[in-house]
Structures are given as C-alpha cells and as structure tokens.
A and B are shown apart, each in its own frame.
Chain A
C-alpha cells in the first residue's frame, strides 16, 4: 500500500461548484497535513496546514482530517476558473523528521 494516495483526476467542475479533494494514507504517525496548489510548471504553493484531527477554514477553503479513517479532504467553495491547478496533499509526523510525503496530486479544472 502506498504511504499517501491521491486520485490523479482530472476533475472537471463548473464554475461555482463545491470541490472535494481527498487523500488517504497508511502511516498512523502522520500528524501534520498540508495542502498545496501547483500551477503548471510552477512551484507548490502552501494553501493550508492542519495538525492532527479536525477542521480548518480559510476563506473559500476548508481542510478536514479524519485520523481514525486516515483520510483528509480539501473543500473549495464557489470554485473559480483561477482555481484550476493540481492540488497536492503532503504529510509529516510531528517530530523526528522534517520531510514531507506528498501525494501524486489531483488535477482540477474549473470550467467557466
């Protein structure tokens, strides 16, 4: 089983839709969960991070972590064509390491 799994997409939605992006993981030691947005041929841009379980909201973005199911989600409300990008989840244990384990990314297309 891969350490972090993410559906590669592409996921196409109409403008204004609510988008749900997800990752599953196998390592129960992961405590930090990050979401990055990556435009084509650009570097990953940090959107949000969450520690342990729970929800976190920032504008149109909401991150959820369910550690019991080893499942994390990113919701985008009122999606815009400018949200079209690849969304990467990344994870890390709370201590002893600084490295991130990334998912493969989900390509999102928001259609105008």
Chain B
C-alpha cells in the first residue's frame, strides 16, 4: 500500500540553525501539506501546496518557514533560523486531486531545538 515517508525520523539542532525536513508524498497525489504537533498539543496546520505554489498557510507559517518541491518526488519544509518553540513533531501529508478530505500522513519528523 502506498504511503507517505519522511526523513529524518529525528533531527536535533541548535537554536538559530537551519533545518530541512524531507517528505516523499504518495506518488499520484497532487496536494501536499505540512502540519506540526507540539508535545501534548493538537495537530496544527502549517501549509498546503499545489501546482508548485503555496495554496494556503496558517499564521504559524511565517517568513522563517518555506516549502519546496525540488523534484518530482520530494517535498521539503525549511526552517531558516530555528527557535526553541519550533521543537515539535512535523507531519507531511498528501491527498489526491479533489480529495482534500482524504489526507494521508507520514510518520513524522521529531525536531528538537536545543
């Protein structure tokens, strides 16, 4: 069964450093998403991406965040200058065209900022 994959599973970085989180969405899906989940809190939407551009973003997704689809399979989230409060699980998700209500999530990357 096709699935969303994410790397790395755990990333530790120092405050102020840049990190890139990587995702491989399900191959025939056209919509891609990033969510985050701070420990003990609910899953929060960050951004959605379609046709090589951001289609929607939340208030959390400020100028320090960016997304990119560098090739036909990968989808990345970059955090330019990490803060302690960026420590969270980051989930990538994807959905097929016209089926945004069927989002499939990856296993997540645990980001720890020290």
Residues of A within 8 A of B (CB): 32, 34, 36, 41-46, 49, 51, 88, 90, 92, 97-105
> Given the complex of chains A and B, what is the CA–CA distance between A51 and B89 in angstroms?
28
What residue of chain B has the Cβ atom nearest to residue A91's Cβ? B101
Which residues of chain A are near B104, meaning CB under 8 Å?
46
- Binary contact readout B57-68 vs A (1 if CB under 8 angstroms, 0 otherwise): 010000000000
Find chain A residues with CB under 8 A from B31 CB. Answer: 98
The reply to whether B56 and A44 contact each other, CB–CB distance below 8 Å, is: no
Contact of A102 among B42, B55, B95, B100 (CB under 8 A): B42
Interface size on B, residues (CB 8 A): 28
Interface status of B102 (Cβ within 8 A of chain A)? yes
| Residue pair A46, B102 in contact (C-beta under 8 Å) | yes
User: Which residues of B have CB within 8 Å of A100?
Assistant: 35, 43, 45, 103
Set of chain A residues within 8 Å of B100, measured between Cβ atoms: 32, 92, 98
**Residue with the greatest number of chain B CB neighbours at <10 A, chosen from A34, A41, A97, A100:** A100
Can you identify 14 A-B contacts, CB atoms within 8 angstroms?
A32-B100, A43-B108, A44-B105, A46-B105, A88-B42, A92-B101, A99-B45, A99-B58, A100-B35, A100-B43, A100-B103, A102-B44, A104-B42, A105-B42
Q: Which of A32, A92, A99, A103 contacts B42 (CB 8 A)?
A: A103
Chain B, Cβ-Cβ closest to A90: B43
The verdict on A44 contacting B102 (CB below 8 Å), with A98-B56, A99-B48 known, is no
- Other 14 A-B pairs with CB < 8 A, given A43-B107, A98-B100, A104-B42: A41-B89, A43-B105, A44-B43, A44-B105, A88-B43, A92-B100, A97-B56, A98-B48, A99-B33, A99-B56, A99-B58, A100-B103, A104-B41, A105-B42
* B45 cross-chain contacts in A, Cβ below 8 A: 99-101
Which A-B residue pairs are the 3 nearest by beta carbons? A99-B45, A32-B101, A43-B105
**B35, B48, B56, B103: residue with the most chain A Cβ atoms closer than 10 Å:** B103
- Counting chain B CB atoms within 10 Å of each CB, the highest count among A32, A42, A103 belongs to A42
Given contacts A88-B43, A105-B42, contact A98 B105 (CB under 8 A): no
